Amino acid sequence: MTRVRIVTDSTASIPEEQLEELGISVVPLSIRFGQESFRDGVELKTDEFYRRLEQGEMPTTSQPSPGEFVTAFRELSQDGDAVVSIHLSSKLSGTFQSAVLAKELFPKSTIEVVDSGGVTMVLGFVVLEAARAAAAGQALQEVQEIINRVKERVFGFVTLPTLKYLEKSGRLSKGAAFFGGLLSIKPIISIDGGDLLVVEKVRTFSQALRRIIQLTQEGLKNCPGPAIAILHTNALEQAKALAEQVKAVINCREIVFAEMGPTLAVNGGPGILGLAAYRD
């Protein structure tokens, strides 16, 4: 039987041990500080990224080139295996399109490219379930069906402790940043449905976290034993505290701590917290 091999990108936030256990290949996005370019999670350590960010250097990000996907697809398909490449929303990055362009260079291979419609563990849960099915020997069609089902059952929310990095990145005007900081407004951002949308604005960070838990509970209504990912950027201790709050009110079958990498911290900075949920 033809094996199914799973590929994703570095925005999936899947813990390293799960990537290794399930044999998931990762094609990283890139981070650029001035003329220096680094592959996310490969060439730039997290502490060095935040040191440079705190010193005022504002990085940019770029999608993987089609050539990087060509390298991955060639290696994974050379034994006749099928490849399923699952990526962050095409509304947020050109990563999906780069993978599509690479696929066209392998007309004799079975390669499927999937737009997850999400990012961080909203993408990650889709990848994990696909990889588990592939590891169990399920056929390509079965893996595709699982992907489609999981995509309909994942959602997430994050909030930012400060708007200053959004302002510095140019994604928020100085006037809006000043107004938000003055009133301590903390946006609650949904991370499913293909785009990042501000669904609510709350006065304090602690209130925003409580509201995220409430929104997650509402999304999990009549769903026993969901899987939950605690999302954070360089804020593990705060993430652990958030996990305790979640466990007090949601009966989770699984809790994963997922650090969102530098490509996701570029616009929000350190201290982002949130939840992603999978309604199994």
Q: What is the CATH number of the domain that holds 206?
A: 3.30.1180.10
Residues 96 and 10 in one domain: yes
Percentage of the chain with pLDDT > 70?
A: 93
Residues 200 and 233 in one domain: yes
The residue ranking higher by pLDDT, 74 or 173, is 74
- Residue 208 φ then ψ, to 5°: -65, -40
CA-wise closest residue to 169 among 34, 80, 269, 68: 269
Q: In whole numbers, what is the pLDDT of the chain averaged over residues?
A: 91
Poorest-confidence range of 43-47, 200-204, 247-251, 255-259?
43-47
**What are the structure tokens assigned to 73, written together?**
């697809």
Boundaries of domain holding 81: 4-29+64-151
Query: Which domain-ending residue is among 136, 151, 166?
Result: 151
Residue 259 scores a pLDDT above 90 = yes
Domain-embedded: residue 36: no
Sign, CA dihedral 88-191-5-9, equals positive
Residue-wise over 17-46: b if at least 16 C-beta within 10 A, else e?
ebbeebebbbbbbbbebeeeebbbbeebee
Q: Are strands 111-115 and 82-87 parallel, antiparallel or unpaired?
A: parallel
Residues 121 and 163 in one domain: no
In the chain, the number of structural domains is: 2
Residues 87 and 213 in one domain: no
Poorest-confidence range of 99-103, 122-126, 174-178?
174-178
H/E stretch holding 37? strand 36-39
Query: Which domain-ending residue is among 129, 151, 173?
Result: 151
Question: What pLDDT, on the 0 to 100 scale, is given for residue 196?
Answer: 84
Residue 150 scores a pLDDT above 50 = yes
Residues 162 and 195 in one domain: yes
Q: Give residues with Cβ within 8 angstroms of 90, minimum separation 6.
A: 96, 97, 115, 194
Query: Which domain-ending residue is among 151, 173, 188?
Result: 151
Distance CA 120, CA 212 (A): 16
Quickly tell me which residue has 């302002």 as its tokens. 167
Residues 95 and 124 in one domain: yes
- What are 164-199's pLDDT values in tens digits? 776 665 554 444 444 455 456 899 999 877 888 889
Residues 20 and 85 in one domain: yes
